[in-house]
Chain A
C-alpha cells in the first residue's frame, strides 16, 4: 500500500498542512498578541497579588473558577462524543471524531491550568505534590483531570498514527516529525488489528473517565454546605451541561474550519443536522435538570437557599439568569426543532448562544452562592477586572492558536477512517442491517436495494 496513491483522492484534507497562506500568519499573529497581553497582565497579578482582580470577600472566586468549569466542560465535546459515536458504530462519525478529540486535548490543558491562575501563591503549587490531601475535592480534580488528559491525548494520538504515516509517505515537511510520530506504521493487517484493539479498549475506558471529570468538578461546590451549591443533582447536572457546551463548541469549530479549509465535501449538511439534533436533545435535558434543581429549592423554601434563589431570579443576577434560559433553551430549541432553520447558519447561531448560555450558567453557579453568605453579612459584589477579562480572552486565544497549529501539522479529518469508510463500511452496514431484519436477506437483495 502506498500512501501517495491512496491519499490522492483526499488531497483537500492535506491542503491546510502543505500550503500555508498569508491568513494563517495573520491569525497566528493576532492570537499571539492576545496571549502576550494576557501573559503580561498575569505577570502583574503574580507580582502584586490577586488584588488586581475583582474578587473580594465574600465573592472570593470569580472568572478563573468560572472559566475553569467552562473550559473543562467544553473539553467533554471531544472524547466523550467521539467515543460514544465510535462505540455505537455511527458511520457519520468518520469526519467528526478527530476535531472533537483535538478540542478535548487543547481545552482540557487550558481549563486544567485555570486553578493555577486563581492561586494566591502559585509558586507553592508543589505543596500539592508533597503534602496534598486526597480528602479535598480539589485533589480529586487534579487526579481526574490528569487521568482524562492522559487518556484523551492517547485517544487522539492512536487514531492519528495511520494519518501521520500517510504524511510521512507523502514526504511532507518536517519529515522527522512524521517519521518520529508514525511509529513505523505500514498499514499491515496485523498492525491494524493491534491499533483497532487498543482504540476499542480506550474508547470504552475514556467514557467513565470523562463522566468522572465533570462530576468531580461539580463536587468542588456540592461538597460544601453552602446554599445553592450543596445539591445531589450537581454531578449529572454538570456532566449534561458539559456535553451540551461541548457539542456546541464542536459544531462551531466544524463550521469554521469547513469554511476556512473548504471541507464541504467531507462535512456535509447531514453531519451538522445529526449533531444539532444531539444538541437539541442536550438542550432539553439541560432544561430538565435546571428545572429540577430550582423547583426543589423553591418548594423547600429554606431561607438561606431562597436568598440565593431570588438573587438569581429577580435580584442582581436576574439579567444573566434569564439570558441563560434564553441562550440555552429558548433559542436552540426554537432554531433546532424546525427543519427550515436547522441549516448551517441557524446551527452556528444556536451553538454560539449555547456557549454564551453555558458560560453564564457557570457564572450563575459560582458567584451568587458566594455573594449571599449566611448570617447578617451584606450581599457581596463582584465586578471582574481587566486582568480577568484579558486572561479569559487569552484562554480562548490559546485554544484557537492550538487548534490552528494542530491543523497546520495534522489532518483535521481522519483520512484513513474516511478511506476505510469508503472501502468497507457500505458492505458492513448492509450486513449489520441484514442482522436487524426479521427475514433472511440474500446478497442479491442487498445489491438490488443499493442500486
Chain B
C-alpha cells in the first residue's frame, strides 16, 4: 500500500472519530429536546448532557492532539525506511 493511501486513511480515521463523537453529542442534545417535549425529569437529563457532551469532545480532541502532535514533531528524514 502506498504511503499516500495510508496517509489518507489516517486522516479519514481522525475524521471518522469526529463524526462518531459529534453524532453522539447531537444524539444527546436531541434527547434533551425530547425530554423537554415530554416533560421528563429535565434536570436529570441536563445533568447527564453537561457531563457527557464535553467528555466525548475531550476524547476526540485528545486523539486529534496526539495525531497532529506526532505528525508535527517528526524528524524530517523521509529517506529513512518506513518512517510513516
* CB <8 Å contact, A201 and B62: yes
**Which among B13, B24, B70, B84 is the interface contact of A146 at CB below 8 angstroms?**
B24
Stretch touching chain B among A116-124, A133-141, A236-244, A336-344:
A133-141
Are B63 and A154 in contact, CB atoms less than 8 angstroms apart? yes
- Please state if B58 and A134 are interface contacts (CB–CB under 8 Å): no
Choice from A135, A144, A150 contacting B59 with Cβ under 8 Å:
A150
Q: In the complex the two chains form, what is the Cα distance from A146 to B52 in whole Å? A: 10
Q: Is the CB of A135 within 8 A of B66?
A: no
Smallest beta-carbon distance A53→chain B, Å: 30
In whole Å, how far is A40's beta carbon from the nearest beta carbon of chain B? Answer: 31
The complex places the Cα of A278 from the Cα of B27 at a distance, in Å, of 39
CB contact between B38 and one of A133, A140, A191 (< 8 Å): that residue = A133
Contact check, B34 vs A133: say whether CB atoms are below 8 A apart. yes
- Given A134-B45, A198-B65: A154 in contact with B59 (beta carbons within 8 A): yes
Residue on A with the closest CB to B81? Answer: A169
Give the docked Cα–Cα distance between A286 and B35 (Å).
37
Nearest CB of chain B from residue A246's CB, rounded to whole Å: 21
B3 & A188 in contact (Cβ 8 Å cutoff):
no
In the complex, B6 has a CB within 8 A of chain A: yes
Cβ of B1 and Cβ of A195 under 8 Å apart? no
Q: Please tell me if A190 contacts chain B, counting CB pairs below 8 Å.
A: yes
Which of A134, A139, A147, A176 has a CB less than 8 Å from the CB of B6? Answer: A176
**Across the interface, which residues of A come within 8 angstroms of B24, CB to CB?**
146
With an 8 Å Cβ cutoff, the count of chain B residues facing the other chain is: 42
B83 at interface, CB cutoff 8 A: yes
Is A133 a contact of B35 with CB atoms below 8 Å?
yes
Q: Is the CB of B66 within 8 A of A194?
A: yes
A161 to B66, CA, bound (A): 10
- Interchain CB contact under 8 A, A168 and B82: yes
Within 8 A of B (CB), among A4-34: none
Q: Which residue of B lies closest to A134 (CB)?
A: B45
Q: Check A184 against B83 for contact (C-beta < 8 Å).
A: yes
Which of B13, B48, B84 is the one whose CB lies under 8 Å from A134? B48
Given contacts A133-B38, A183-B71, A194-B73, contact A176 B1 (CB under 8 A): yes
Q: Are B40 and A180 interface neighbours, CB within 8 A?
A: no
Inter-chain contact B35/A184, CB cutoff 8 Å: no
Residue in A140, A143, A161, A171 with the greatest tally of chain B CB atoms within 10 Å: A143
Docked Cα-Cα span, A195 to B20, in Å, equals 22
Interface residue from A131, A154, A176, A179 paired with B62 (Cβ < 8 Å)? A154
Q: Would you call the interface of chain A mostly helix, strand, loop, or mixed?
A: helix
B15, CB-defined interface residue at 8 Å: no
Indicate if A186 sits at the interface (CB-CB under 8 A): yes
Q: How far is the CA of A184 from the CA of B72 in the complex (A)?
A: 9
Q: How many A-B residue pairs have CB under 8 A?
A: 110
Would you call A184 and B71 a contact (CB within 8 A)? yes
Neighbouring B residues of A183 by C-beta, 8 Å = 10, 66-67, 70-71
Interface contact A186-B52, CB-CB below 8 Å: no
Q: A132 and B34: CB pair below 8 A?
A: yes
* Cross-chain contact B83 with A186 (CB below 8 angstroms): yes
B1-25 interface mask toward A, CB cutoff 8 Å, 1 = contact, 0 = none? Answer: 1010010011001000000110010
Query: Does A134 contact B65, Cβ atoms closer than 8 Å?
Result: no
**In the complex, which residues of chain A have a beta carbon less than 8 angstroms from the beta carbon of B69?**
190-191, 194-195, 198
| From B52, B62, B74, contact of A143 by CB (8 A) | B52
Most buried by B among A144, A146, A150, A168: A150
**What distance in Å separates the Cβ of B36 from its nearest Cβ neighbour in chain A?**
10
Instruction: Report B83 CB to chain A, min CB distance, Å.
Output: 7
User: Contacts A169-B82, A180-B10; is A150 near B73 (CB within 8 Å)?
Assistant: no
A202 contacts B62, C-beta separation under 8 Å: yes
Partner of B45, one of A135, A151, A161, A198: A135
Smallest CB–CB gap between A138 and chain B, Å? Answer: 12
The answer for the CA separation of A360 and B11 in the assembled complex, in Å, is 46
Q: Which residues of chain B are within 8 angstroms of A96 by Cβ–Cβ distance?
A: none
Q: List 17 A-B contacts (CB under 8 A).
A: A134-B28, A134-B48, A135-B35, A135-B41, A150-B20, A150-B21, A150-B59, A169-B81, A169-B82, A176-B6, A184-B70, A184-B74, A186-B74, A191-B69, A194-B66, A198-B69, A205-B58
- Which residues of B come within 8 Å of A, CB atoms? 1, 3, 6, 9-10, 13, 20-21, 24, 27-28, 31-32, 34-35, 38, 40-41, 44-45, 48-49, 52, 55-56, 58-59, 62-63, 65-67, 69-71, 73-75, 81-84
- For the complex with contacts A135-B44, A194-B69, 19 further pairs of A-B residues with Cβ separation under 8 Å are A132-B34, A133-B35, A135-B35, A135-B41, A143-B52, A146-B24, A147-B52, A147-B56, A154-B59, A158-B66, A161-B70, A171-B82, A180-B6, A180-B9, A184-B71, A186-B74, A188-B75, A190-B69, A198-B66
**Which 8 A-B pairs have CB atoms at the shortest separation, nearest pair first?**
A194-B69, A134-B45, A190-B73, A176-B1, A135-B41, A135-B40, A179-B84, A191-B73
